[in-house]
Structure formats: structure tokens, C-alpha cells
Structure 1
Amino acid sequence: MPLSEEELRLLEQMERALSEEDPKFANTLRGTALRRAQRRQAIAAGAVLAGGIAILMSGVVTEVWLLGVLGFLVMLASASTGLSALRGHPPVVPSSRATRLGRVSLLERAEHRWRRRRGQGW
């Protein structure tokens, strides 16, 4: 059911009043601060990725394989961080915190399903 013109006008007035009263809270509700933080994180990950490429190439040129492996690991970590920031996924949280927040890992879900099936007589 769409809002009437009167309701839309009242909603816009409430949004303006909220923005004037507490702009930080209004930005949080809009999600602009979160998107800005994710964009900064993706840009930083891109810079670290470029550094990882430089380390990798230095290892190849100087024939120090340990330096090449280190560069590859830096590239892998920064690419993972950058992609998760671009996709908008939250960073990985520890298992105990994840269960409190309602997030369950794939292994924990599989274990829960297995126990449920065993209890049902499968």
C-alpha cells in the first residue's frame, strides 16, 4: 500500500528534522558512513595489493623464493579483504561472537544438520 502525499510530506519533514538534530545518527541510518568506510578499506586493500605485487616481483628478480612467497601471501590477503569490502560483507568474526550475532559457519551448520538427522533416525 503506497503512502499518501500527506504521509510522504510528514516523512520528509521527520527526515530533515533528524538530519538537523543529529547528522551523525542520520548518516548511520542512511548507511553512507558504512559505504564510505568500505570504500576506504577497498582502496587501502588495492594499495597493499600493489605493494604485494612489488614484493613478489622483487623476489622473482632477486631469485629469493621466500620474498616471492611473502609477496604472494600479501597479495592474497589484500585481495580477499578488498573483495569482501566491495561486496559489502562484514569482516570475519570469531566463532563465539558469530554465534552470539546469529551467524553460523558452514561447518557448524553441517554439524547441526547432522545431529538433527541423527536425532530423527536417519
Structure 2
Amino acid sequence: MALSEHEQRLLDQLEQQLHADDPKFASSMASSPQRTISTRRIVIGALMTVAGILILLLGVANQIILLGVAGFLVMGAGVYYATSRGKGSESAPMPQGNNKSAPVNRSGGFLSTLEEKWDERKREQP
């Protein structure tokens, strides 16, 4: 369901206020395609995990402890690789919104600004 123009404007203002009040949190919560886990990494990691399980089972079946430990390490490395995010994703620049919306009230903080906007909206409604 699409947002109305007024709702979109309010959402943009909230986003800008969040970026102004707590840029570190805002950048950690922002969604960008560079920060997602790629399907390729998941597939390669899953294959490494399956290979590690097979090596582990082979080591247990033949009672070769070093082979079992190596299988466990390969399995762990596969899971780590599948769930990690690659090199280039952390240094990707975050897109910033346009700065033409309402000015940010820095004196009261993010929550007080939200409360003011909420009260304003309630006063405008019949």
C-alpha cells in the first residue's frame, strides 16, 4: 500500500531527524543493497558446510580424529562464510535524503520533536 504525500513527507522528516540526532544508529538501521548477504555467499557457504559434515562423518567412521576435527573446522568455516557480509559492504557510502524538509529542532531531541509533530497533527484534525 502506497503512502500518501503527507505521510511520505512526515516519514522523510522523521528520517532526517533521526540522522541528525543519532547518525551512527541511523546508518546502522538503514537498508542498502550493499549490506545484504549475497545468495552466492550463502550457496558457497552451504556447500562448504555439507563438505565439512561429510569429512567429519568420514573421520568418525574411520576413527581418524584429525580428519574429524578438520571436517568440523571446514563446516564452521562454511557457516561463517555463508553468514558474513564480504569486504566491500562496510565501506559503502550511505545515501542521504534531501535536506529541503522542515528544520530539525535540536534543543528538545528526537522524541520531543515527535511529540510536537503528533500534537500538531491532532490539533489540525477536526
TM-score range, shorter chain: 0.3 to 0.5
TM-score, normalised via structure 1 length? 0.42
Higher Rg of the two aligned structures: 2
TM-score, normalised via structure 2 length? 0.41
Structure with the bigger percentage of helix = 1
Q: Which has the higher contact order (CA 8 A, sep 6+)?
A: 2
